Structure formats: structure tokens, C-alpha cells
Structure 1
């Protein structure tokens, strides 16, 4: 398992974002590194966990619980076959393009060591948006991506440090529950009846997903 590509985005003006400034950092491009990785601060204030990486919409992106976004190269290749075109590493706006790692099959709270210093913890899947659809340039992309159910993973930074393309990735902790990124994503999007099951992941869940699951339980208890 390794970090196949390390991807950084710069602010870019586009016609498909609802940001008042009309800019987005979703267009991530590979860099060799090293790149410093740290917890960026709470959502709404903190941006990306990677130094030099742009997050322009702080309402929905960035912050400690979405500090880093990872997508498996294998998933990009699968989408490429379906779409009939090649997808470069970084094409989904991911910071980490991995190889040999089942990213959407990772468990919430699972921890990865990237290189010799950085430890990241899985929090949730990526919810597709209008900006993502415009960037990919495919019709009905939000619906198609949601139905596919392989959203990639957001991660929080547990131990900061530097990473670079080619670094090994090691799973250093795998929780004993069965709440995967893919399951949590389905619970949040297409199968709300699964929300009670995600509570098994406890505080490792992204706070917004945890709150959603708790409210669902309160409405449907008794």
C-alpha cells in the first residue's frame, strides 16, 4: 500500500461553483513533496491539512474532520472504464491517490501511517456537490457518484509531519466495529435506515454524521 500521488490545489475561477468569489481549489495537481500535514483548525475556520493546498468553500470543506481527502487509484480506474476516458490522479479533488488500499472499505476510526511521521484517521466519505460535478464534467454526476457508493475517505490528522509521493501507507489501527466509509456514506445519502448502525463507530465519526444519526435515533425511538 502506498501514496501513489500527492495532490495540491490552487484557487481557480470557474463558472460552476456557488462560492461568492467564484473560485475553487478542487483542481488538484500532483506534486512530489515533501508537503507538511497538520490539523488545520475547526470547520469554518480551518482549510486543508496540507500546506499550500487551497480550500475555498469553508462552509462544506476543510477543517479538522475533513483535513485530508483520499481516493483509491483503483476506483479512479474503475470510473475511467465506465466513463470511457482516463482520469488523472487528483481528478476527484483528492489530496492522496492511494494504491493497494480499499479506501471506501476502510472503517471509520481506522488509522493510517503515511511515510514515517504522519498518522491520519478516517472520519467519513465525500458527499458530492455541484462544484464536483462541474469539475468532472459529466451529466448527472452527483446522482451517479452517490449511487456508486465508493466515495473515498476524509481523514483527520492525528500525528503531523511531512509526506511525499511514493510514501508507504500502513494501517496501524483498525476498529473492531463494522462501520465502513461506504456504509456510512449510504446511511447519510440513500439509506437513512442505516443511520443507527453507524453509531457503533462512536466519536470517530465526523461530528455532523454523528449528530445526524443521533437525531434519527431520537425521532424513531419508542
Structure 2
């Protein structure tokens, strides 16, 4: 199958239990989405407060989500189907909070900082891995969800927006030239989830922004798992 966008998704805001805020994790199919770079990408920090990179979307937890490095989130239909089989339930497109549901592309094997073209004009760049959080767990309603998701080792892809524009279902997704390193999202996610060997590889490669690099480097030195 030619890699393509299966569904473009926007938040349907709902209360996040136990917090005073709304959450945008529950996303539903939309005819198209407009993507853009929401804020600084200078590498000095996460800049979470700059909001989503998708017009009309919602970032409820602005301390941990949004900003240039978390502008657009993608998850594959194949992984949703795998989880649906594991959990014994139907998982619609957008259910894992993704703006883009893909088909025919192993997102987790994309390399950090690799670019992909979507349709004719939009260009996205793999940035960092997702980290499962309490909001995700409450949304799923599955016992031990954070640990279970982490153990599977496939997190989907956060993208920066390099070339803004409109993304529609059916748009082709074309991976562009691979960077000259071997750090894929599986490796980065393992590093973030506490794998010291993976963390050493990520730190040595120097492929993530300084905020994330420094946290992993400190974790390697101290033998502790990083926070977001």
C-alpha cells in the first residue's frame, strides 16, 4: 500500500477528570486540517505554551503539549488495529489523540529529524517521541495503560511543520532523504521510557533539541528516568 493519510482529526474538547481544564485528546475525523509552525523552534526549550500546529485544534495541558516540536501528532491505523485486537474494542481514527491517522507507513521506524512530504506541498519533520500521560490513561479507561503502552514500544510520531498547508485524507505521505544516523522513534521512545542503552545512543547521536538532550544526558549520568 502506498503510504497515505487515512484521516485528518481535530479535537472534540471534553473535561479532563481531576483537573480544571479541558482536554483535546479525543479527536474526530475532519474533512481536512491546516498545519503550521506554532512557535519557536530555536532549540532552547520545549515552548509548550505556543499551542498546537493545527488550526482549530485544542491543547488542554499547555505545560506539556503543543509548541514547535509537538506541532502535529500522527499515529498509524495499523497500530490502532493492533491495540483494538489487544483490548477487544473498536478504536476509531483519532482515538489516540492523533491529528493524522496514517496507513501503509511504519511511523515508528522513521528517523529523528527525517522529513516527509504530505500531498504536494506540506512538509513535516520528525521531532520527538510521545510520552504516555495520565490524561491519555483517563481517556483510554484501561488499567495500567501508561505502562502497557510504554511496554509495547511504539509511540507514533510528533512532527514539526517545515512547510505549512492543508492536509486531506488520501494525501500521499513520502519519506524524504534519511538523516545520517540510526536513531528512530522506537529507539528514542525506549530512551525516554528508561532504557539506558538507548538513552546513551540518543545522547551520543545529538539528534534531539537541547531541552530533551540535556534531560537524557542527566538521566544517563544519574541513572534516573527523565520527566517530560
TM-score by length of 1: 0.91
**Alignment length (residue pairs):** 215
Deviation at 1:192, TM superposition (A): 2.4
Aligned mate of 1:134, from 116, 128, 138? 138
- In structure 2, the residue matched to 1:30 is 29
CA distance in 2 between counterparts of 1:187 and 1:47 reads 26
| Aligned partner of residue 45 in structure 1, secondary structure | helix
Deviation at 1:13, TM superposition (A): 1.6
Deviation at 1:129, TM superposition (A): 0.6
Q: Does 1:150 align with 2:149?
A: no
CA distance in 1 between counterparts of 2:219 and 2:62 reads 26
CA distance in 2 between counterparts of 1:5 and 1:92 reads 13
The more displaced of 210-219 and 56-65 is 210-219
Aligned mate of 2:5, from 3, 6, 16? 3
For residues 94-113 of structure 1, the C-alpha deviation after alignment (integer angstroms, 9 at most, x for no partner) is 01110011011111011111
Within a 5 Å distance, the mapping from 1:86-97 to structure 2 comes to: 86-97=90-101
For residues 171-196 of structure 1, the C-alpha deviation after alignment (integer angstroms, 9 at most, x for no partner) is 01211211010111111113123212
- In structure 2, the residue matched to 1:214 is 217
Aligned mate of 1:39, from 33, 37, 41? 37
For residues 138-170 of structure 1, the C-alpha deviation after alignment (integer angstroms, 9 at most, x for no partner) is 110001001111011111011111111111100
CA distance in 1 between counterparts of 2:101 and 2:205 reads 25
TM-score by length of 2: 0.88
- In structure 1, the residue matched to 2:60 is 56
Change over 3 Å in CA distance of 1:219–1:15 after alignment to 2: closer
- In structure 2, the residue matched to 1:99 is 103
CA distance in 1 between counterparts of 2:147 and 2:158 reads 20
Residues 179 and 200, structure 1, Cα contact 8 Å, conserved in 2: no
CA distance in 2 between counterparts of 1:138 and 1:160 reads 36
Task: Flag as ranges the 4+ runs of structure 1 deviating above 6 A.
Answer: none
| Aligned partner of residue 133 in structure 1, secondary structure | helix
Change over 3 Å in CA distance of 1:36–1:122 after alignment to 2: same
- In structure 1, the residue matched to 2:115 is 111
Change over 3 Å in CA distance of 1:73–1:30 after alignment to 2: same
CA distance in 1 between counterparts of 2:106 and 2:122 reads 19
| Aligned partner of residue 159 in structure 2, secondary structure | strand
Give ranges in structure 1 of 5+ residues lacking alignment. Answer: none
Within a 5 Å distance, the mapping from 1:130-209 to structure 2 comes to: 130-199=134-203, 201-203=205-207, 205-209=208-212
| Aligned partner of residue 104 in structure 1, secondary structure | helix
CA distance in 2 between counterparts of 1:69 and 1:208 reads 19
CA distance in 2 between counterparts of 1:7 and 1:201 reads 33
